[in-house]
Each structure stands twice: as structure tokens, then as C-alpha cells.
Amino acid sequence: MKTTVHTLRKLKGQRPIVAVTAYDAIIARFASDAGVDIVLVGDSVGNVLLGFDTTVPVTLDMICHHTAAVARAKPNALIAADVPFGEAHYDFEKVLRACQRLLQEAGAEAVKIEGGASMAPTIARLVEAGVPVWAHIGLQPQQIHALGRYKKFGTNSAEADSLLADAVALEKAGAFALLIELTDAAVAQKISAAVKIPVIGIGAGPNCDGQILVYTDLLGLTPGYVPAFAKQFADAGAQMKAGFTAYTEAVRARKFPE
């Protein structure tokens, strides 16, 4: 069954929601066939697949390109796409145009936007235009140059209060879900209980309405640093390396082709 923002909303309180990143048709198909609820074309494509150090260099054109590939897999999972660095902070017409490209041209079914309560007015207008918005609070990796480092959020009461206020404002603006990244588990739990929309966590403890991971982390495909909160559920990297090695040896030994 096709997942929509409507069916997703009904899962809150019923069972945990499962989300994962996907940047191409193959991975979108595997994830969707496994029963994942949401595939996110994250701007993590920049550091995960494209060799950038952060998500900041990722452009709207890049997200459109990868989202179109995911959409061509026709996944049952909801297709969400990240609005890249800076794009959500232009005048509304330009923000709408970016979302229009993601939904019309690329085939996204929802967009994800980093930002707290200050993004609420923009999000309310996008929702009014028919753009389902997944709001992203806690650690916002697009802020890396301003933050100086990736850090955990909600670890003091002022930060916890402001996260809760963000969540409430974004729900009120009409966001269909929240993503909460690298945030104190008790705060994430409190936010999940305080809003009616699903809260999907990453590095935010077990008591959210769902979880998301970067697919290369959970499949053992990330070559470098893997965050401590990620769990590896398969070692696809080792299998791929074994496959390439077997092919190389077979060709060199004139065993392939037979």
C-alpha cells in the first residue's frame, strides 16, 4: 500500500514509523520492498555519496536529480526530499518555486525543511499551497558553519524549552511530521508526547514515533566515520568488496568469461 502523509499520521500511537535515506532507484526499491514507510532523499547525499565534507554544498539541482531517480523506482514508501542549504530562507515565491521543482519536476511527495519556530510562517504558506512539509529540529546540519561542530541539543532546560516551543509552532503551522536530530532522549520523548504529528528521531532515543537512519550506516557501507547512535544491521560493504575481488581475480585468471 502506498504511504501518504495521511496514512503516516495515523501510524502515530499504533506502531513505530520507519524511515531511511535513499538517493537512487536501486536503494529506494530495496527499502520500499522491505516495508520502510518513508524514503528521504536527504542532503546527506553530499557527504554520503558525493564526497563533500558537509551537506552545505548540496544544491537544489542535485536533490532534484536524486529525487527523480528515487521516484522512478515508484516506491510504496513516501518520497520526501530535503530543501537544501539556504533555499528555505528566500522570499516565499522562491521557496515555493524550489518546492514546486521537487514535487512537479522530481516527483517528491513531501519536503523536509530544517528550522524551528522562525520557519513556521513559511511552512504554513507552503502547506496552504499543497506542499506537505516535514519540519527538522534539534541538530540542523545545514547550520554547521554557524555551529562550528555537530552537537547534541536539549541538554539544558533553556534548549529543551525552545525545542518544545519549536515543535508546537511547527505543528501549528501544519507540518505533517517532525524530524528531531541528535537531541536528548527525554526531551525527544516529551516532544513526541506533546504534539499530535509523528516525531521521527535520529540520535534522539527510543521514545519517538519513529526512527530514521542514513542507509549506508545501517548497511555497513559508510567508509569513514559512523555516528555512535547508528546501528549496523548488515555488512553489505564486506559483500561488495568480496564480489569485486572475486570478479577481479576471475578475469585475471581467465576464468571469466568461460
For Na ion, which stretch binds (CB under 5 A), given 76-84, 162-170, 171-179, 187-195? 76-84
Beta carbons of 237 and 219 less than 8 angstroms apart: yes
Nearer to ligand KIV, 82 or 109 (CB): 82
- To the question of whether residue 162 is assigned a binding role by annotation, the answer is no
Strand residue runs (E) in the chain = 17-21, 38-41, 78-82, 110-114, 133-138, 177-181, 199-202, 210-213
For Na ion, which stretch binds (CB under 5 A), given 35-43, 148-156, 174-182, 194-202? 35-43
Instruction: Enter the C-alpha cell of residue 235.
Output: 555488512
**Residue 21 interface partner, choices Na ion, ligand KIV, none, CB cut-off 5-8 Å depending on type:** ligand KIV
What is the rounded end-to-end Cα distance, in angstroms, of the chain? 44
Beta carbons of 31 and 22 less than 8 angstroms apart: yes
Nearer to Na ion, 146 or 235 (CB): 146
Active site residue 181: yes
Binds Na ion (CB under 5 A): choice among 19, 75, 82, 184: 82
Phi/psi at 80 (5° precision) = -110, 145
What does the alpha-carbon distance between residue 173 and residue 158 come to, in Å, rounded to a whole number? 22
What residues line the site for ligand KIV (CB under 6 A)? Answer: 21, 40, 42-44, 82, 179, 181, 202, 212, 214
- To the question of whether residue 24 is assigned a binding role by annotation, the answer is no
- To the question of whether residue 37 is assigned a binding role by annotation, the answer is no
Would you count residue 138 as binding Na ion (CB under 5 A)?
A: no
What does the alpha-carbon distance between residue 63 and residue 65 come to, in Å, rounded to a whole number? 5
- To the question of whether residue 118 is assigned a binding role by annotation, the answer is no
**Residue 202 interface partner, choices ligand KIV, Na ion, none, CB cut-off 5-8 Å depending on type:** ligand KIV
What does the alpha-carbon distance between residue 198 and residue 230 come to, in Å, rounded to a whole number? 20
Residues annotated as part of the active site: 181
Point out the annotated binding site for 3-methyl-2-oxobutanoate. Answer: 43-44, 82, 112
- Which residues are at the interface with Na ion (CB under 5 A)? 42-43, 82
Point out the annotated binding site for Mg(2+). Answer: 43, 82, 114
